[in-house]
Each structure stands twice: as C-alpha cells, then as structure tokens.
Structure 1
Amino acid sequence: MDRSAPIGVFDSGMGGLTVLQAIRKALPQEHLLYIADSAHAPYGDKSLEYIQQRALMLTRFLLEYGPKALVIASNTTTAAAADLLRSTFPVPIVAVEPALKLAVSSTKTGVVGVLVTVATSQSARFATLLERFRQDIEVIIQPAPGLVEQIEAGELTSSTTRALVEYYVTPLLSAEADTIVLGSTHYPHLRPLITDIVGPEVMLIDTGEAVAHQLRRVLEAGELLNEDPEPGGEQFWTSSNTQRAQQVISLLWGTSVDVQQLPSTFI
C-alpha cells in the first residue's frame, strides 16, 4: 500500500466533519476523502438493513480511490454496520463509539448522560458497550431526534435548535449528571450551544480526538503514515444538493470548500 494513498471517511451527513477535523489536526500530511450522505440523513431513524446497504455502497465508492484506511464517522453506522464492513472489505476500518469509558472515569456525581440517535440507543452494539463500561455509574440514555436535521440545515444557534437541546438535556441535569457524552458525531457542532445551556461545569465528551489517535496507531502499525512534508488536502462529496451542501460544509469546516456530487449509481 502506498503511504501517500488517501484516507476515506463517511457519515450520514455533516456530523463526521467533527471527526475529519480531529484527523486533520492529528495527521496534517494525510489526504482525506469525505462523503456526506445527506440525502439519506438522518440514519438514526432508518432500519438496520437500510444503514448497512448505505454503508456498503459508500465504502465501495471510496474503495475506487484506493484508500489505505477507512473511517466510519458515524456512531449509528458503527452500531449497525462496522462488523459487516470489516468482514466484507480488506482495508483497515476505524469506527467511532460513544465515549462511555472516559465519561465513566470522569464523573464526580456518578451520573452520566448520553445524547444519542434513536438507532444507536436501540442497537445491540451500544447495549454491549453499556454493559462493559457502566460499572456502578448511573448512565442515562437520551435519544435526541431532530438535532441531526438542525445541524444538517446549518441551524446551530436557532431558537428551534436551542429548544430541542434544552428539552433533551433537562432530564440529565435534573438527575445531576455532570458529564454528557455527545453520542453522535453531529452533536459536537452544537458544543457552544450545549455548554451555554448546561453550564461550563458539565463536561461534554465526544470521540473525534480518540478516533484520530486510533487511526494514527493503525497507520503506524501498517507503516502507512504519509511522510510527505507537504500538508494533505481534502475532497468532499455529497448525495444531496451540492450547492446547499457546499454552504453548510464550508460553514462547519471553517473555510470555503468545493463539494462534488456522488455519482447517481451511489445515490
């Protein structure tokens, strides 16, 4: 495998950009490919079979570019399809999971809240994760339908988004949770808003940095780190309207980017 080969990353939409940003910071020389499957977002209310078929299709598209590794930048897709993808394709695959281990070790009150999509909350993989890390800590699972759609629309600070966040975090605060896991890669886009609502004393935990570190370990183990001194670039695709996707991705990425349309056979 060529060290200069790209790394493929995909998500149901814009959420995985938080993971992509962490990867870019940790691995500045790497070339990154990103798919926002926004035409099919949110995955959180889709069936297991639907999510698996989208994951297979997006992976096959990325494999056309000869990636040296793939990243599933979606908690919902990890829960539904990580095992399937790893058993189907030979390329190394790094996946995200809600950061329960860190949350359990960080809480002082013994109460941890977890904001997740409906699909993640109902998955067997998430149930296993809970059993592994719950220990003697009270873990409150809070499905948060509607938040992904607000982020996909670029509505990070609107009154509707604020009302949804307040509705979902209020039960967690009432139970004295001092740590909240952002269990969707979309949710860190709302970190400033969530912090404003819950207060700075509540710790918010996401998995972007951990995924970037795991990706580095995988590349190092395979002697695949890009040694080119020049910084790497990014390519973006969307399954939805390219003009709208370009506006929102540029907003969330922090700089103007070009976004291409996925070929119709992958939509």
Structure 2
Amino acid sequence: MSTGRVVFVGAGPGDPELVTLKGHRLIGEADLVLYAGSLVPRAVLAGARPGVQVLDSAPMTLEQTHALLRDCARGGGLAARVHTGDPSLYGAVAEQTELLDRDNIPWEVVPGVTAAFAAAAAAGTPLTLPGGSQSVIITRLAGRTPVPESESLRSLAAHQATMAVYLSAAEPEALQAELRAAGLPEDTAVHIAHKVGWPEQELIPSTLAAFPNAARSRHIGRQAVFLVLPRRTAERSRLYDPGFAHGYRDASD
C-alpha cells in the first residue's frame, strides 16, 4: 500500500491572489481538494486539476472528512485540506492531525494570510506604531466555544494593545461591554472588516461608542473581524531617523 500525504493549505481571507504560491501549487497538484465551503470562496480553488474531487466539508463531521483524507493518502494521493485564513488560527487542525498521526499519514501545514492582516492592509492602518501599541492580541468573545477565564476579553483589553477580535460579529454589544469594562475610552477606534478579500468586502471605520450600531445597520455577518486600535499617537520610527546609528548606517547631526 503506497502512502500519499495531506496538506493543510491556508486559503487567506478570500482573495484568490492572497493564497501563497506554495498553497496555489499544491491545490493544483492535489488528487482531492476538501475545503470549508462556508468560508472559502470557490474562486480560491480555480487552480484544481480538471476531474479532481473538490468537496465542501461544511456539512461533514470530523470523522467523514478524515475518512476522505485518509483514503486519498492511503491510495498514494495528495489531499489538500483548504482552510480559510491561516490554518493555525481557529482552524481546528489539531484534532485532524491527531487522527492522521494515529493512521501514520504524513501531513504538513502551508500558512495563509489571516483576516486581521488583510483588514489592516485594506484599511491602510498599521497594527503597531512607534510610540504606540507594540503588541497585537488576537482573541474572541466566549460563545458556544468557551474562552478560559484568564483570557477574558476585558482582561486582555485592559492592556490597551491593538486587538483583532474574531468570531464575535453576532454579539457586537457584548464586545462593546467588554471593552468598556476594560476602561477603554469611547473614542477608541474600532474598524469593522466584513468579508475582507471577497468582492463584497466592507470596511467600516468606527469607534467604541458607535460600532455596534454600525455593525447592525450594515447587517454584518459572521465573517467579520474587529480591529480595536487604542494608543494611536505615533512617533517617527527611530530606524530611519538620521540621528539613529545602526549596523548599516552611521548617525548624522
């Protein structure tokens, strides 16, 4: 019995041109493409070979997706498991690789562009600034999937670092309440990025005081990320300051 392999490919946020070259190549070489149809647009899969099975995993269970990946690999094929964004972030990859390891099937992960970075790029706003926030916290509200108490959103927001909040579009008022409880001022910038990278993407600049109404009035769906941007006062970067010496340049007066 020959053994193929499984690759987890990060599809990026939705724009087919934001898939890495490696990810695009592997989709084109795959003997099976299994993708999360509720999140990954079909345009991302346009490079799949004619006649290859391209299956939507949305209605499937873990056991069903594993059987498809296992059978393809055991037959000597390459199975591409295509995840939205980056597979390492809210991708439920660990439970899949555990089953692959159990069945001695080789696998690898190809990283992708996550929505927070695509949203920052589309909005033209940096996530870190000289003299401002130097950290980015990626988190979510607790919901059907719990969040550890030590990682509650209000406790993380109290650091006043930049935050990218995923999987929370259904409860913008709850997100607002957590940010307020952390002591963030009402004029804190909150950008809403909905379906970033898709043809129908929406980028809505707002504030802590106003963003729930903005989200509700625009009928923002679950494919949204909130960028919370405190401490936006910036200084000039020292790296390019003429008075700042480093290994490649002497300081000037």
Q: Same fold (TM over 0.5)?
A: no
* Relative contact order higher in (CA < 8 Å, ≥ 6 apart): 1
Richer in helix (by share): 1
Question: TM-score category by the smaller chain?
Answer: 0.3 to 0.5
Richer in strand (by share): 2
Q: Which has the larger radius of gyration?
A: 2
Give the TM-score normalised by the residue count of structure 2. 0.38
Give the TM-score normalised by the residue count of structure 1. 0.37
